[in-house]
């Protein structure tokens, strides 16, 4: 029977798989740019920068994100007793260390988890979420976020965000360098340099697009898994389904989130984006699909 930890080992393996995949993409992009500019130092620079950014993402991503949204740490139970009790009880049930709990002054109903592992996890809740949800709905949302921690989703999400950003930086730099210096290099060897220049332009345009699609696809898949794990944790899928309905009905955009961190949130922090191609670049699966999946789950057996 599925538990909170059913996918944990697989997700740890997938974390390293995607890390190596993204890292390989960075190296490939760096190699192409080095060839176009006839400068091997560019490849070395790309590899070193990728290592530094990964190191920073692993050790400091949680504190960086929390500072970006001006999250306030709940230092003692008396500061937010109901929120503290729910997180504490769910952590005990899940067999996880209790994460640090933060409140973000933001009218949009949302929450997110961050941290490199369960021992260094943090859970941030918007004031807008606390205002509109009842206890069972809030438990559903917090169980979902704790499931991200238990399933080791927070690390892979951070890695994906950082490396996708790294590829975007390299591609932007490449396009600028070709604009200013591409014609001059092309006169030396029309055949070889011309083909490499075309390849460089294609890579510079498509690599960030591909990296972004990978990052968003990872995010959407993780949301379905966390919904299922959270519902099993509370043994009340309707609480989470009801919370999703309330949040979807408000259509409130966040005042603290940004496009780089949007995949970390429980729900899309910005307005919905329609259909077709827009759905391919959505940070979260459609809410109606998440609700349907929850309400089609077999009723958990109460113990």
Active site amino acids: 145
Instruction: For residue 201, count other CB atoms closer than 10 A to its CB.
Output: 16
Instruction: For residue 246, count other CB atoms closer than 10 A to its CB.
Output: 14
CA atoms within 13 A on the CB side of 185: 19
Output the six-digit token pair for 51: 């290592």
Strand 122-126 vs strand 111-114: parallel, antiparallel, or unpaired?
antiparallel
Q: How far apart are CA 244 and CA 15, in angstroms?
A: 27
Q: Would you say 174 and 30 are in contact if contact means Cβ atoms under 8 Å apart?
A: no
Of 226, 266, 219, 221, residue with least CA distance to 243 = 266
């Amino acid at each position: 029977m599925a538990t909170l930890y059913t996918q944990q080992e697989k997700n740890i393996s997938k974390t390293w798989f995607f890390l190596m995949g993204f890292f390989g993409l960075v190296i490939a992009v760096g190699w192409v740019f080095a060839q176009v500019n006839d400068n091997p130092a560019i490849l070395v620079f790309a590899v070193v920068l990728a290592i530094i950014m990964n190191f920073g993402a692993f050790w400091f991503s949680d504190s960086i994100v929390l500072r970006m949204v001006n999250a306030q740490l709940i230092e003692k139970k008396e500061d937010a007793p109901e929120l503290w009790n729910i997180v504490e009880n769910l952590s005990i049930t899940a067999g996880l260390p209790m994460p640090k709990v933060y409140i973000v002054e933001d009218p949009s109903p949302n929450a997110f988890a961050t941290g490199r592992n369960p021992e260094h996890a943090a859970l941030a809740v918007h004031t807008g979420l606390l205002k509109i949800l009842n206890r069972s709905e809030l438990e559903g949302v917090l169980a979902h976020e704790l499931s991200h921690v238990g399933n080791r989703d927070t690390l892979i999400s951070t890695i994906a965000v950082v490396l996708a950003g790294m590829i975007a930086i390299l591609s932007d730099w490449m396009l600028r360098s070709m604009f200013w210096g591409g014609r001059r290099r092309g006169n030396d060897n029309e055949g070889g340099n011309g083909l490499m220049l075309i390849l460089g332009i294609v890579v510079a345009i498509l690599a960030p697009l591909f990296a972004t699609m990978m990052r968003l696809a990872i995010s959407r898949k993780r949301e379905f898994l966390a919904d299922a794990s959270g519902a099993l944790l509370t043994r009340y899928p309707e609480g989470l389904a009801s919370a999703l309905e309330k949040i979807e009905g408000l259509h409130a955009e966040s005042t603290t989130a940004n496009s780089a961190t949007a995949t970390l949130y429980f729900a899309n922090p910005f307005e919905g984006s329609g259909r077709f191609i827009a759905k391919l670049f959505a940070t979260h699966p459609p809410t109606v699909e998440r609700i349907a999946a929850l309400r089609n789950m077999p009723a958990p057996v109460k113990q």
